[in-house]
A and B are shown apart, each in its own frame.
Chain A
Amino acid sequence: MATAIEAPRAPAQRFAATPGQMLLAALIALFLALFLVIPVITVIYVAFTEKGTGAFTLINFYDFARTDLFIASFWNSMYVAAMTVVLASLFALPLAYLTTRFEFRGAGIVQMLGFIPLIMPPFAGAVAMQLLFGRNGTINLLLDDWFGFKIPFMEGLNGVVFAQAVHYFPFILINLSAALRNIDRSMEEAAQNLGSHGFRLFRRVVFPLAMPGYIAGASLVFVKVFDDLATPLLLNVKDMLAPQAYLRITSIGLADPMGYVIAVVLIVVSVAAMGASAWVMKGRDYATVQRGGGGLSKRPMNRSQAIGAYAVVLLILFLVLAPHIGLFLLSIATVWSFSPLPDGYTFAHYARVFAESSVFIKNTLLYATLAGIIDVVLGTAIAYLVLRTKLPGRHWLDWTASAALAIPGVVLGIGYLRTFFDVKMPDGTSFASFWIVIVLALAIRRLPYALRACYAALQQVSASLEEAAENLGATKSRTVRRIVLPLMMGGILAGFVTSFATAAVELSATLMLVQSTSDAPLAYGLYVFMQSPAGRGPGAALGIIAVLLVAVCTLISNWIIERNQHLRSTRT
């Protein structure tokens, strides 16, 4: 197949909407309205009301702009989010580049390990990082002993940047690696024939071609960091927007408008950031025609290059896996206090966790699986409606579902309580206390990830294949079932894995919604354990179990994806 930069791809031929498609769109719209739009509106409308009277007003936004603390918080959040993108790029670029461009032994393992930081249960990660990098953590105690100085890794805004970059850099790694793999080798060869090589080749040809993946990952990191409240709070940084919103809503009260004003600001900035990233990519087309067999040519490294490359990769892996290393040590430690390593080791914490907490593990698997399934079903359906039909308003489905990314978990949690508490179940209990509500909250919060994955997968399937099938007499639903879905399977699974893995360790919405311990997922159990001195070890053990659980599930799906791709590439 001839290769060239493709002219802006002609829009896939769209079919007229069938009644079935309209019904599908209506159902999705109803779902989103019930479980996203209405709950969120019940919360944020408070931002537009006067305290006490409830009359409509914009005065709260005026107060926001006049309060030094909020303005400082706004800029701090901007700074942290932007710097995290920079630092996360520094972590992700070498890993992605070295493993995709060179013959690198263990590239698969590096890519796999690079995904792990995303699976860090809240609380546990920051606790473990404090023990290693904190003021009196392992590294600083040793530095102080040997050289008489300390490095403030975890102090202030820059500490937040460090912790966030370690946690979220996989978003960039995953997207960038995928983009690098999709670059056509001949582009690189053409550049080399024209005399470009080395860093110039990377800067002028390879990186720009991988730009869509990088921008997708970077904007995701920006938005997640901008909205995250757990990490800053655990590092005792309060003058950022998300922590301010959380502190106000949970300590001053649900009636205080300022918390909701901040929530509105968070949502606006997040949507703007996602919009900006889409706008940057608009009008540029880096797509290349050939798929599957492409990818950059992998080159062997000479000895010194190899040593350098492995040193860089190992250093980065050590940094980004440090929380897990720390957590593991904590889970087998007797007492760990003001010393580089624990005083002694024991497996008693695991015994306690298994004796008391198997219900948490079961619940987590159930909830995360259900949430993942809901997400890919919705994601696939929305992607199909947007890309393959001409339904009016179909983009609204996409935008609404993506906006969930910008809704802080606390806001969604409170919204659910407010909306569903008066909805009675047949047995007289409230719908909000039914565990399905936790699943719905998890699914809504993870929907944007799955949606993007399904969307990308469907974009890569040429509409001409569907036309061919229909020309041969297949019905629409049969075409979808037999042609579209199988071709999308890789992307759907990737979406499922991301939703599943992150849902399994989510806490912020869960904490508001868990009504009884027997319905609680693992992250909640971990939170409860971590609130007492004797619970630190078992909490860490539960964290390690969560990470392993998710890692195993990820491995399995990864294996399925690879096998699927392999099958496809052998078929063509």
Chain B
Amino acid sequence: MRAFVQLMALAALAALSPAQAQAPTGKVTVLTSFSKDVTDPFKKAFEAAHPGTTVEIQNRNTNAGVKLLEETRSVNQVDIFWASAPDAFEVLKGKKLLQLYKPKAAGIPAKIGAYPINDPDGYYSGFAASGYGIMWNERYAKANKLPDPKEWQDLAKPVYFDHVSIAAPSRSGTTHLTIETILQGEGWDKGWRTIKEWSGNLRNVTERSFGVPDAVNSGQVGYGIVIDFFAFSAQGAGFPVKFVYPTVTTIVPANVGIVANPPNKATAEAFVEYLLSPAGQEVLLDKGIRRLPVRPETYAKAPADYPNPFKDPSLGGKVTFDSGLSSARTAVVDTLYDQLVTFQLDGLKAATKAIHAAEAALAKKDNAAGRAALKEARDLVAKMPVTAEQAASPEIRAAFTGGKEKSARQAELEQQWAASAKAAYAAAEAKANEAAKLAR
């Protein structure tokens, strides 16, 4: 099969006249985190628009994709890197694994929401936009008589205890952006407080991005914190799910970039141009894809109720996402979430449950001392082992990269953070129980 394809490619090359040598032809290899539902329609459309080309899809999650390009730098076989998280592209750019290419396509605005669509240095381009939000299963909500959430903070309410799911930010580029967006939108301390408050209601933390919409679709979990197209494409597939964008969300572009030293440069460029062309943008409206196009005119062809960030100023306008800050502390934020939430979920949930119970007790019979104890319990949960300044400090960053300035090894830091969280959650649970007693 493979040999046959190569033969065909050779034959196609031989048949070309020299004048056409620049026309896209042959195999273009695309490394992507996107699912088959996204890649197949684009593959078909591109191959139809450029006869003689084949799109070869390699599917990997974003982190694994970045690692593959790093490990295989000397013998690169990949033309295109195609994924959501702008962070990953920043990392690739920093490692000089991307090729400079400014697309010729015109008519694409500079910004979507508050976020620049293209890399200012020209190493990668946004081809679709996505926002983060909450999706839920209507049947599940109805069976458990749960209200519809609107904001992140809503998920922290006692009714949602044990009903929410999220992918670990260390595992999912999209959740990482969600966490980072909340931290940038609300500030380090307040942001972490919000995050931990709703994290106390989590049913589980999955290790795959798609694990969350999958669990919501099948009704194993009621609510999921996901990127919008997971919900839209699930609706497209007929699942009884809904989705909402909270106010603090960011609309960020999903990107495409040409890998440094591509085996087939001409076709790689054609692929990028196609994604940005009006025809390519329309493919985004396919019911298995459902992403927000970066061309404003494409929305005219979208189904009713399709969110339009160019028209709806509330979408992603509130936070200006600073990707420099984000990439400087990526490892620290992810590790903090893992050590304080993912691996301490039982302790956090026990504390949260006790806080909910104390709150209910105080609502029935108010008591000042009880209120004070409850506040203490909440503060204990929200307590962070490091400040924003420390998180971005060279000492801590070096612990993760193995640099010289490190004050402690990564494993030591993790153990410290985990131990402090464990103690704080146990203390919070005790305080909350105390508050509940006072209200009796």
Residues of chain A having any CB pair with chain B under 8 Å = 50-53, 59-60, 63-64, 66-69, 127, 130-131, 134-137, 233-234, 236, 238-239, 243, 247, 250-256, 258, 334-339, 356, 359, 362, 417-418, 421-422, 424, 429-430, 432-433, 435, 511-512, 514-519, 528-536
Contacts and interface: CB of A to CB of B under 8 A. Distances in A.
Contacts of A430: 72, 75, 77
B5 A518 contact: yes
Contacts of A134: 218, 220
Tell which of A52, A238, A359, A531 has the most Cβ of chain B within 10 Å: A531
A68 B71 contact: no
Contacts of B137: 337-338
B25 interface: no
Contacts of A337: 137, 139, 217-219, 239-241
Contact of A69 (B38, B171, B219, B418): B418
Given A63-B409, A429-B77, A528 B72 contact: no
Contacts of B35: 528, 531-532, 535
Interface string B128-146: 0000000001011001000
A532 B58 contact: no
A238 to B, nearest CB: 7
A163 to B, nearest CB: 14
A417 B68 CA distance: 9
Interface in B1-21: 1-2, 5
A410 to B, nearest CB: 10
A127 B402 CA distance: 39
User: Dominant SS at the B interface?
Assistant: helix
Contacts of B72: 417, 421, 430, 432
B342 A517 contact: no
A254 B67 contact: yes
Interface string B398-425: 1011111010011110110011001000
A233 B171 CA distance: 12
Interface of B: 1-2, 5, 29, 35-38, 40, 56-60, 63-64, 67-68, 71-72, 74-75, 77, 137, 139-140, 143, 168, 170-171, 204-208, 210-211, 213-215, 217-220, 230, 233-234, 236-241, 288, 331, 334-335, 342-343, 398, 400-404, 406, 409-412, 414-415, 418-419, 422
A535 B36 CA distance: 8
Nearest to B215: A130
B219 A533 contact: no
B418 A422 contact: no
9 contacts: A250-B64, A252-B331, A252-B410, A338-B240, A515-B77, A516-B56, A519-B2, A532-B210, A533-B230
Contacts of A131: 218
A38 B229 CA distance: 43
Contacts of B59: 517, 528, 531
B47 to A, nearest CB: 14
B428 to A, nearest CB: 19
A335 B237 contact: yes
A335 B335 CA distance: 37
A315 to B, nearest CB: 25
A532 B89 CA distance: 23
Tell which of B59, B170, B342 has the most Cβ of chain A within 10 Å: B59
A295 to B, nearest CB: 46
B71 A417 contact: yes
Contacts of A243: 207
Contact of B233 (A511, A516, A534): A534
Tell which of A50, A238, A258 has the most Cβ of chain B within 10 Å: A238
A354 B140 CA distance: 34
Contacts of B402: 50-53, 255
Contacts of A334: 238
B412 A532 contact: no
Nearest to A60: B411
Tell which of B75, B240, B335 has the most Cβ of chain A within 10 Å: B75
Contacts of A519: 2
A339 B139 CA distance: 9
A334 B239 CA distance: 9
Contacts of A255: 402
Contact of A533 (B40, B77, B237): B237
A429 B75 contact: yes
Tell which of B36, B68, B204, B230 has the most Cβ of chain A within 10 Å: B36
B56 A247 contact: no
B398 to A, nearest CB: 8
Contacts of A64: 411
Nearest to B76: A430
A256 B410 contact: yes
The 7 closest A-B CB pairs, nearest first, are A52-B402, A338-B219, A51-B402, A532-B35, A63-B411, A533-B234, A236-B204
Given A67-B415, A238-B207, A429-B77, A532 B71 contact: no
Contacts of A336: 218
Given A52-B403, A53-B402, A532 B36 contact: yes
Contacts of A254: 67, 71
Contacts of B168: 251
Nearest to A59: B409
A335 B239 CA distance: 6
A421 B72 CA distance: 7
A516 B77 CA distance: 10
Contact of A518 (B1, B77, B415, B418): B1
A534 B288 contact: yes
Nearest to B202: A236
Nearest to A131: B218
A534 B218 contact: no
B71 A536 contact: no
Nearest to B141: A338
A514 B56 CA distance: 12
A183 B240 CA distance: 57
Given A334-B238, A532-B38, A251 B71 contact: no
Given A239-B343, A359-B1, A258 B56 contact: no
B419 A68 contact: yes
A514 B64 CA distance: 12
A485 to B, nearest CB: 34
A336 B64 CA distance: 31
A135 to B, nearest CB: 6
A243 B206 CA distance: 12
Nearest to A54: B402
Contact of B75 (A127, A256, A356, A424): A424
A478 to B, nearest CB: 39
A1 B5 CA distance: 64
Given A359-B1, A518-B2, A536 B214 contact: yes
Given A247-B171, A338-B137, A238 B410 contact: no
Contacts of B403: 52
B124 to A, nearest CB: 21
A534 B237 contact: yes
A68 B77 contact: no
